[in-house]
């Protein structure tokens, strides 16, 4: 580990990219008596700095929801370099949470308020038999799904619309439920179907609600054209139930000047991560 | 579920292909007071048939070792068809064990004694940071590994040799420790290195011992040429320690007239599984 840097009294803003498996956690947000990602990360940071550190994420994730690239920001004494921070936090954290990247950020950077968009993916195992190795990370749907019908339905979900039919939280009543879905892609690869969606922001449980609805279309129990009417009803009861939490991944968060790749190549992403980490 | 077939008094030999996640189990073999794959499978079969059913696997797997294609044989009343057997067992089993395939087998077929070869794979995550999604299914090796050095070393491990240096069980003292490794392949894909090895049979912990030795070569702490001397010493103490159980997968078992593919294409395998299952 690098030696502490000088001028420990100066404070610095930092930005982390973290990944976590959702299963062991009651979501991101700190809650009394619950094991949460925020509580774990803040405890690791407090052990490093010897003082409480408040972590802000790009947004909450629910119990069981995974993250591949959650972004977190925090203020701390300027005494440790980014590599030290990453290594020290990873040394204290359980391996179900990993700091992939740490860097210094401008003073006005805030993981939530500076975000200009987010990308989620929802992963489905579409096979006749469950896979013991993907139980906690895919929604198992044994009924064959028609991906082209799902794509036709998804056309009604792209663009700037009122997504109230796909928002689970009644607290949105006095807030806008208009969001701009910039793109939504569906791909089948082997026995997996992946839904990836990028928007300027998401309503509560919106991706799981979209996934639940699209799977109903894929299994032939809802016509693709009905999506327009469901959307225009602007009432949660109009749309089918949510998809389960364990298929959902917060893939990446976008800030000024970054755009997410529409095509996700796992091998390329892994190679990039490897280059970045060494 | 299909109606029971006629002639329930007749007995039939069956063959299953099963997959399991190794983490929840004390390996394959039934042991008093332990949760094992054999005990779970026999309990599911007893519930289906209303009488005890003895299951024979191609071989034991240790605690934490996974299976993608373990083969199991058993005798039972001829009253259920293969599809019913698969569905009924899967309905009773925890999803960490799945029956992928069930079929009738000739009366003399035995999962262990009829086997002519086995294929294992050992999977390594070779990256600077652990991955929360592969904790139980890859050996995490942060030190960069030189795969071509590992391949040069592996040449000494292919062919018919005495593999006593790679056998952990002292009980082999009075049995032959000669095995025929038909091929051994190493491939890097993204941040993963996979060792696949096919032989007529394996000694106790042999694949984990080979993997531990090859990783020592890959990290530069052992020269590829030293493998010949280690092999010829014919003593376990000559070789480096075992690789951990959780990176090991029993991939497939070969019987008369079948040969395993040297190249494993996950997408192709998944498509094949999908066709087979529907």
pLDDT band with cut points at 50, 70 and 90 for residue B168 = confident
| Six token digits for residue A169 | 């939280």
Task: Report the mean per-residue pLDDT for chain B.
Answer: 91
DSSP assignment letter at A168: -
Separation in Å, CA of A254 to nearest CA in chain B: 22
Q: Is B175 exposed, middle or buried (0-12, 13-18, 19+ CB in 10 A)?
A: exposed
Residues B114-137 have pLDDT tens digits of 999 999 999 999 999 999 999 999
C-beta atoms of A190 and B130 within 8 A = no
Find chain A residues with C-beta within 8 A of B264's C-beta.
none
DSSP notation for A181-192: EEEEEEEEETTE
Which are the catalytic amino acids of B? Answer: 62
Judge whether A275 is closer than 8 Å to chain B, CB to CB. no
Read off the DSSP letter of residue B235. -
CB contact B89 to A (< 8 Å): no
pLDDT above 90 as % of chain A: 83
pLDDT digits (tens, 9 = 90+) for A93-127: 999 999 999 999 999 999 999 999 999 999 999 99
- pLDDT tens sequence across B239-257: 889 999 999 999 999 998 6
Asked if A99 and A237 touch (Cβ cutoff 8 Å), the reply is no
Looking at this predicted complex, what is its ipTM? 0.86
B144/A278 touch (CB, cutoff 8 Å), yes or no: yes
Contact of B135 with chain A, judged by CB distance below 8 Å, is answered with: yes
Tell me: the pLDDT tens digits for A37-80? 999 999 999 999 999 999 999 999 999 999 999 999 999 999 99
Pairwise CA distance, residues B145 & A79, whole Å: 33
User: Does residue A178 sit at the B interface (CB-CB below 8 Å)?
Assistant: no
pLDDT tens sequence across B217-241: 999 999 999 999 999 998 888 888 9
Distance from CA of B75 to the nearest CA of A (A): 24
Query: Measured between CB atoms, does A23 come within 8 Å of chain B?
Result: no
In this structure, what token pair is assigned to residue B2? 């299909």
CA distance A75 to chain B (A): 24
pLDDT on residue A175: 80
Q: List CB contacts (< 8 A) between A274 and chain B.
A: 127-128, 190-191
Number of other CB atoms surrounding residue A72 within 10 Å: 25
Chain A hits for B129, Cβ within 8 Å: 86, 90, 98-100, 273, 277
CB of A93 within 8 Å of any CB in chain B?
A: no
What confidence tens digit (pLDDT) does each residue in B46-66 have?
A: 999 999 999 999 999 999 999
Which residues, in sequence order, are CB contacts of A216 under 8 Å at separation 6+?
A222, A240
Give pTM, 2 decimals. 0.87
Residue range B25-34: mean pLDDT, rounded: 97
The mean pLDDT value for B155-184 works out to 88
Does position A237 have pLDDT exceeding 90, yes or no?
A: no
Residue B100 to chain A, least CA–CA distance (Å)? 7
Are the beta carbons of B187 and B194 closer than 8 angstroms? yes
B131 part of contact set with chain A, CB < 8 Å: yes
> Which candidate from B20, B267, B277 shows the least CB-CB separation from A132?
B20
**Residue A127 and residue B90: Cβ atoms within 8 Å?**
no
In this complex, which of B95, B133, B271 lies closest to A132 when CB atoms are compared?
B95
- Give A153-164 pLDDT, tens digit per residue: 999 999 999 999
């Amino acid at each position: 580990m690098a030696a502490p840097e000088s001028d420990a009294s100066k404070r610095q803003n930092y930005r982390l990219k973290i990944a976590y498996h959702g299963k062991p956690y009651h979501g991101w947000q700190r809650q009394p008596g619950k094991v949460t990602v925020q509580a774990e990360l803040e405890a690791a940071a407090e052990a490093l700095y010897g003082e409480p550190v408040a972590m802000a994420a790009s947004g909450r994730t629910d119990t069981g929801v995974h993250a591949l690239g959650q972004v977190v920001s925090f203020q701390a004494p300027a005494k440790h370099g980014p590599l030290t921070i990453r290594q020290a936090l990873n040394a204290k954290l359980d391996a179900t949470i990993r700091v992939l990247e740490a860097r210094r950020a401008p003073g006005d950077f805030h993981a939530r308020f500076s975000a200009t968009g987010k990308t989620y993916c929802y992963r489905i195992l579409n096979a006749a038999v469950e896979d013991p190795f993907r139980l906690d990370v895919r929604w198992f749907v044994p009924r064959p799904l028609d991906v082209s019908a799902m794509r036709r339905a998804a056309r009604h979900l792209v663009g700037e619309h009122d997504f109230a039919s796909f928002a689970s939280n009644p607290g949105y009543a006095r807030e806008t439920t208009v969001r701009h879905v910039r793109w939504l892609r569906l791909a089948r690869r082997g026995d997996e179907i992946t839904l990836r969606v990028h928007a300027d922001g998401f309503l509560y449980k919106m991706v799981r609600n979209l996934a639940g609805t699209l799977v109903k279309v894929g299994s032939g129990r809802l016509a693709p054209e009905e999506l327009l009417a469901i959307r225009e009803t602007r009432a949660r009861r109009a749309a089918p139930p949510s998809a389960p939490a364990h298929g959902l991944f917060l893939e990446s968060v976008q800030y000024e000047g970054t755009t997410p790749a529409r095509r996700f190549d796992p091998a390329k992403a892994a190679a990039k991560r490897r280059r970045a980490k060494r």
